[in-house]
Each structure stands twice: as structure tokens, then as C-alpha cells.
Structure 1
Amino acid sequence: MRIVCYDCHEEQSELEFGYLCSCGGLLEVVQDFSTLDADKLKRTFHQRLSERMTPYASGVWRYKELIYPELPESDIVTKYEGNTGLYSSESIRQWLGIRKLWLKAQSENPSGSFKDNGMTVAVSHGRSLGYSRFTCTSTGNTSSSLAMYAALAGCESIVLVPNEQVSLNKVLQTLAYGAKVIEFAGTYDDGIQFYERYGREMGLYICNSINPYRIEGQKSIVYEIAQSLNWEMPDWILIPGGALSNITALGKGLNDLLELGLITRIPKVALIQAEGANPFHKMISRQEQQLVPLKHPSTLASAMNIGNPPSWKKARDFLLHNEGVTCSVTDEEIMEAKALIDRSGIGCEPASAATIAGLRKLIAEKKVGREESAVCILTGNLLKDTDVLSKYHLGGLRNAKSSNPILSAELSLESIQGCL
């Protein structure tokens, strides 16, 4: 396992672990899979599905040979994350008009979001290096995941949170796990830049997506999809995009599976952004090579409210190399899709619903065929943002076409029957 700069390819010692190369490029983990046997791996991964009280009961550490083979088991901090459902929904499939659809509910992770897949690896790595203080800047999901794993490891967590457009539910979850939460005037991007400059000087282990070990853990999402589908990939995978660590990890994981011969082809990938926070979509749709940051991103989908995503180069290269697409959807389209996902019995936070909203738009634009199959990744739990949920169903949002308001009645047979 080597740490290499994505831009200039300079190698960095793990013991001198930083988060950016001297050239300013992001770092990534490079692994050698040449000695691994695909059939043996499949058997191992299948056998570990029966594990219960060991690290291999985790849907991340099940794939330890592909995630972090050198890490001693004693350093693993796990809450048996992963193992999330891959669901079919006939009502959503019919609404979209596509042949086959699955929803990967990362919302079922212990802290309620896909961040746990990466955070278990980041905190485990930090602890193996002797760190006891972990930190991140966050719009919510990263902070609650970090606070949970740090508490589990008996360590301290410090979180920087922007003072606007952040879900209070996620902040409260972070506080409940014992993190020291520091609110600041600015954006997620400002917090990232602060930690890039001062994090190491402060002796803190940074757990944002600039940490390459986070990406290694997040790869396990696509490993689970592949294993659940008996190593036969769908035609499409759709994923929401904020900081773009998710599309980076997805691409890295797919390339791993193909290199190992665990799959025979890489599916087409669609990255969905909210219209008010879509700098990456604008860059791709204009066929540009450089991202122009948004100074004031704004969307109800707070998890995607990022104007300067740090992993944009990796995301760009993966999509261009594999003929992937991007799509931008409005908050109204996101909330309509969310209402449908919630009523299907699966549920998700607004950012997750962008995948279904995006798939509908891509089908209408004939970029996705109705005879194709797709997996939509749902990144966060239904209760991650109850403020938006309340406004949608109880009043406060315009064009809430599928709202389900509370009814009022007297406690009598006639009155109750009148509500039915």
C-alpha cells in the first residue's frame, strides 16, 4: 500500500501522513492486487457474511484485502457498518418507467449515512498512528459519523460547522456523541481550506474526504452492490454529488473489481447535483477542464450544499474515461422524488432523492434507456433533516405535490370515519 499524489504522482511516507501534496494535489492510496485470486476472494467474502462479532461482520471490513490489508485487526474501530439493503420498489420503477431498479440504502448505516463506510477506515488508520483527537468540517453527515466512531474508540472529536444551511438534526446527533462542535461564519469550503492549512499544525487527524483512507472505505459500497447482484453489474449506477468523494470512491472501487476480474465490465455512472450547488455539472456539461467554484451554493439538500468540491479532478477523470454523465435537478424535483421514496417504505434524506430525480430526467432525455437497469444510491436517513420534512408535509414549501398533512378530528366514530 502506497500513498501517492493524484496530480504529480510523488509518493509520500505514511508516517509523515498529510492530506495534500506539496504541489497542492490530493493524495490517494495505491494498492497492489496482483497476488490476489478472484475466485478465492469471492469465497472469502461469501463466508464472511455469516460473521457476527468479529470485524469481518462489517460490510466494509468484509473486504479488508481490498480496503486496508496491512491494518492489524486490533486497530479496527467498527460498528458493523455497511450491510445495507439493496431494495426493489415497483411503485418507483413504474413512476420512472425503467425495466429494473434497485435502491442501495446507505441510510441504514449506524450513524444514518454512507459516511460510515469511509469513517471506520479513517478513524482506524488514525488510531493506528497514535492519534487521539479527530476532526472534520461538515454540513452534518460527516460530523455525526466522525463523532460516533471517535466516541467508540474512546477518542476526542472536534467539528467545524458552517452557521447556515446545515441540518440541526445532524448537529444534534454530533453533539449527542460527545463532539466539540464549533460553529463558524462561512461555508464548508472555508472549513476545508482552514484544515488544509492548519490541521496538522494543531495535531488533529482530519477525517474529511481529502483523507485518502476515507475513500478506501467508501469503495466498499460498490463492492456490496456487486456481491449482492452476484457480481453482475447493472447498466447504470446513480449517485448524488457534493464534495464528490462518493463518485471518487465509486470509480476507484469499480476499477478495483474490474482489475481483479470480479466483474467483467464497468457500468455507466451518473453523478447528480442540486441546481443550487452544481459547479461540477456545469463544468462537465460545458466540456470544461477546470471547475469554477460557486461562492454561495444553496439547496434544500444540505448534504450537497458544497460549492468547491475537493475531489473534482478525480471525479472528472473517472466520468470522462468511462463516458459517465452528470445531471442537475431542482429542489422541487428532489422533494417530489423524496416523497415517493419515503412512501415506498425505504425513506431517505433530500440529497439521496436526487438520484431518483436525476434518473427520471435522464430517462426523459433518453440518456438512460427504459430497457436498462439501474442502482440508485441513497446516502442518508429519512430523519437526517426533519426541518425540511416538516415544511414539506406540514406547510412552508411551495409545490409540495405529495404532502401528507396531519388531519384533525373529534374522537368519535363519525368524525374519524370522515378522515378515512
Structure 2
Amino acid sequence: MRENGSHKSGEVALEFDAWFQCINGCSGRYELNEVIYNCPHCGDLLEVTHDLERLKKRSAEEWKNLFDERYRRHDWPYGSSVWGKKELVCPNVDNDNIVSTYEGGSNLFWAERLGQQLGLEELWVKQCGMAHSGSFKDLGMTVLVSMVKQMRTEGQDIKAVACASTGDTSASLAAYCAVAGIPAIVFLPRNKISMTQLIQPITHGVMTFSLDTDFDGCMKIVKSICQEKEIYLANSMNSLRLEGQKTISFELTQQFDQEVPDFIIVPGGNLGNVSAIGKGYEMMYELGIINKLPRLVCAQAERANPLVRSFKRGFKSFKSIQARKTLASAIQIGAPVSVKKAIRALQKFDGIVEEATENELANAAGRANKTGLLCCPHTGVALAVMEKLLKRGVIKKNHRVVVISTANGLKFTDFLVKYHSNTLRGVEPECLFKPYELPADESRIRQTINEALDGNLTV
């Protein structure tokens, strides 16, 4: 059932509002349907700001009850776990313009066996890859594409939406634009993403450029092209994306019955997600929905670690780097757009930034997969960083820890195949498995099964 407005029958209608504002506090407010990405005064990024005083007119208990009533139901569009929190995300979009695939509500997996093996009582993996396009990017893309649809409905001449991508953003943008019937353009670094990621925008029929450069090179091109206002920028420097991604925090709060984990570990590339998760928790704290904040950990690949280097200098300076090729291709970024937002979030949340080598991330994924998970390499980075912090005593046995899994492992079957065939350069697989290749001889098969179950057969 479709219904305009953001309140349920019988409730007092409250008008909520949000706008763009400079992250540095420069003067000026800009409407969310305005094509603007940077502050006109200082050139820095904008962020979506909400009227918190208006939001506080509902009590924390009323917000909790409202979100629980809507969660995964079929009252359009509130069954989406993003749009079920519409007032806290993007109240400015008319319901008729929302483009949704029923995103969010992803599984919070209790990694009990893996936690026991590592000496951790409560290890949880937030499976954000259980999404329409297979990654957490859908949470932000539904907000951005919905706003584009509204702008086009209002008569703005936006001909297409464009992004640079390491694979997942392009897949999500392509899917949501296909749902909305809006043209999309994606720029990908050639031979630096998985074939599964490449085929997603192609199969949705969007204009796909495979370029001889890395993500940072693609980003320079798309920013230049989007200076023409009829092509709208969909990368996370557009803070509409982060408004959807911050609902990861809202979901975790619902799934833990308003309790807050001790640590949340997030893979970091362009650094929008760690910023968004911090913003979500900060907003809930302001509204009284939670009474404490978690510690945030940003996990980077050693070969693409500009934030790790800055953290070691106490965040006193930040320098972009040339990211080297890493198995964690989606976070192979040396010039992250959301670095200022990420640093501010980490400082507010007593944050940590740590790195993982190729061998560490691959084997962390291998260990996790052996206990029933199916991890992308970026989740492997977060798991490897968690193991390091656990060994150092930063994370303790009784801490509740959440690892954010950013993408579906099926997008990275090439990584998994190479791991189990021992063909990943610089990786010594600790959890190597392969099929038994035998003739269709039942006696041989029985013998092999018995030897394997008795522990007499090595793999």
C-alpha cells in the first residue's frame, strides 16, 4: 500500500526537514534537491543535517516503537529498513518518488564457532552483502536515486547519474537506476574488479566504461564530467549516500534491542561507511535511543593504507598515496574522499585504525569460511584486524564485537578459487581444501570417506 506522508494513521503529523551544510561549519544551507557536492565557501564536503529539535518532539520510546512497527512490513515504503527510518534519513523525498528494493534488514550472524576458536565470547558479523545487488551500497543508493527521481519529477534536467567504482557502487547504481528507468554511467578500473562485479552494470544495460587507470583515476574523471549539472554524481562525496548507509547503526540497535556493542570493525576504502556508521550512532545518542557509543575500528589493507599512516601520526596530517594492488580490491583507494568525515567520527568514538597484509586477510577469510561464513576479501581485512586487536588485548574476551561484512562472498569467487588452489601471490593458505577427484567407484569412495573421518587423510 502506498501512502504519502511520513506518519501513521492516528498520529500527530510532524514536519521534518534536512538540508546540506558544510562539514566545517561555513554559513549557508542548501536544499537536498540542489545539485551541489562541495561548500561554495571553502570547497570542502557537505553533509546532510537534520532538524534535531523537531525530531526530539518524539520521545526515544516513540521512535523505537515506530521503527519496530514498520520493520520488514508491507506498508510502502516503510518495509525497507532504510525508509522505515525515513524521518531520520531523508524526509524531503515524496513517497511516490522513492526507489526501493526492500533494502536493509540484513542478517546479524552470530559467529559462535569462529569466536570460540579466537577466544571471543560474542562475535557477530553484520551481513550487509545480503542485499539486492550484493553489497551495503544499496543502503545509500536507494536514497540518492530516490532524490534524483524527485528532482526529475520536479522538472530538473538531470539526464543521467554517474559514478566511479571499484565494483560494488557501480552494481548498485546500475540496479537502482534500472528500477527507476533513469540512465546511468559507470567508470571502472580495467582488470581491477571481479568479473561478477563487472557484469552487474552490463546486465542492467547501463553505459559502462572500463578504463586503464585505478579507482582514484576514475574518480577524477567522473568528478570532471559531473561538473555539468545534467549528470548527477553518485559517489559518496555526495552525502545523500551516507544517509542511507548510517542505517546500519539503526539496524544494529534494533537487532540488539537497543544495546550497543563494544567494538564495530569496518573495512575502509573511500571511508564513507565508517563515517556513516558513526553518524548513525551519534544521531541515536542525541535522540536518547541509546545511552552510550561503541568504539569504531577502521580496517585497511596494508597496500592501501593512507588512514593507517595518518592514525600513527595522531591524525595530525593526512597524505594521499598511490594504492597498490590488493585482494581487497573494493578498498584499493589511496585518496579517500570522505577522509575528514572519517577522522572526525573516529576521534569522537575513541577510534582505532589498523591494517592487514594480503596473507592475513586471506587466511582470516579462510578461517571464517570454515565456520560457515562466506566472506569477501574486504570482510577478511576486518576479521584480520579484529584478530590483531584481540591478540594485543585491546579487544577482550567478554567484549561484544561486530564485524561489518560489506559484500556477498559470491561476488569474489575468483578470490576463493585461487585461495583454495594456492595460487594467490604472497599468501600461504592455512585452510586449504580441494575436492577429491576419484572414479565413480563406491568402494574407493567409502574408503576415502572412512580415512577422512578417522583423521588419517590429509587435504
TM-score range, shorter chain: over 0.9
SS of 2:334's equivalent? coil
Between 35-44 and 375-384, report the one with greater CA deviation. 35-44
Q: Using the TM superposition, give the Cα deviation of residue 8 of structure 1 relative to its aligned residue in structure 2, in angstroms.
A: 4.8
The question of whether the paired residues in 2 share the 8 Å contact of 1:348 and 1:379 is answered with no
1:19 is matched with which residue?
A: 37
Which of 128, 134, 137 is residue 112 of structure 1 equivalent to? Answer: 134
SS of 2:279's equivalent? helix
Residue 137 in structure 1 maps to residue 155 in structure 2: no
Residue 302 in structure 1 maps to residue 329 in structure 2: yes
Q: Aligned in 2, Cα 1:181/1:50: closer, same or farther, shift over 3 Å?
A: closer
2:304 is matched with which residue?
A: 277
CA distance in 2, matches of 1:202, 1:44: 38
CA distance in 2, matches of 1:256, 1:202: 31
Q: Aligned in 2, Cα 1:235/1:296: closer, same or farther, shift over 3 Å?
A: closer
Which of 407, 412, 420 is residue 380 of structure 1 equivalent to? Answer: 407
CA distance in 1, matches of 2:354, 2:286: 28
1:170 is matched with which residue?
A: 197
Between 2-11 and 212-221, report the one with greater CA deviation. 2-11
CA distance in 1, matches of 2:307, 2:283: 24
CA distance in 2, matches of 1:24, 1:115: 25
**Identity rate, percent:** 35
- 1:304-343 matches, within 5 Å, as 304-343=331-370
Q: Aligned in 2, Cα 1:83/1:132: closer, same or farther, shift over 3 Å?
A: farther
CA distance in 2, matches of 1:143, 1:149: 10
Residue 409 in structure 1 maps to residue 427 in structure 2: no
* CA-to-aligned-CA distance 1:77-102 (integer Å, 9 cap, x gap): 00001010001122110122112111
* CA-to-aligned-CA distance 1:27-84 (integer Å, 9 cap, x gap): 1100012233211111111111251262111111111110011211001000001010
2:208 is matched with which residue?
A: 181
For 1:286, give the aligned amino acid: R
Residue 90 in structure 1 maps to residue 123 in structure 2: no
CA distance in 1, matches of 2:125, 2:323: 31
2:236 is matched with which residue?
A: 209
Between 369-378 and 241-250, report the one with greater CA deviation. 369-378
SS of 1:239's equivalent? strand
SS of 1:313's equivalent? helix
2:269 is matched with which residue?
A: 242
SS of 2:20's equivalent? strand
Which of 423, 441, 448 is residue 396 of structure 1 equivalent to? Answer: 423
SS of 2:201's equivalent? helix
1:232 is matched with which residue?
A: 259
Between 160-169 and 224-233, report the one with greater CA deviation. 160-169
CA distance in 1, matches of 2:316, 2:19: 27
For 1:409, give the aligned amino acid: L
SS of 1:57's equivalent? coil
1:264 is matched with which residue?
A: 291
Where relative contact order (Cα < 8 A, 6+ residues apart) is larger, the structure is: 1
Which of 84, 90, 99 is residue 77 of structure 1 equivalent to? Answer: 99
Consecutive unaligned residues of structure 1, counting only runs of 5 or more, are: none
Aligned-pair RMSD on alpha carbons? Answer: 1.5
Consecutive unaligned residues of structure 2, counting only runs of 5 or more, are: 1-17, 153-157, 450-459
How many residues get paired? 420
- 1:184-203 matches, within 5 Å, as 184-201=211-228, 203=230
* CA-to-aligned-CA distance 1:340-372 (integer Å, 9 cap, x gap): 322332312110122211111001111112221
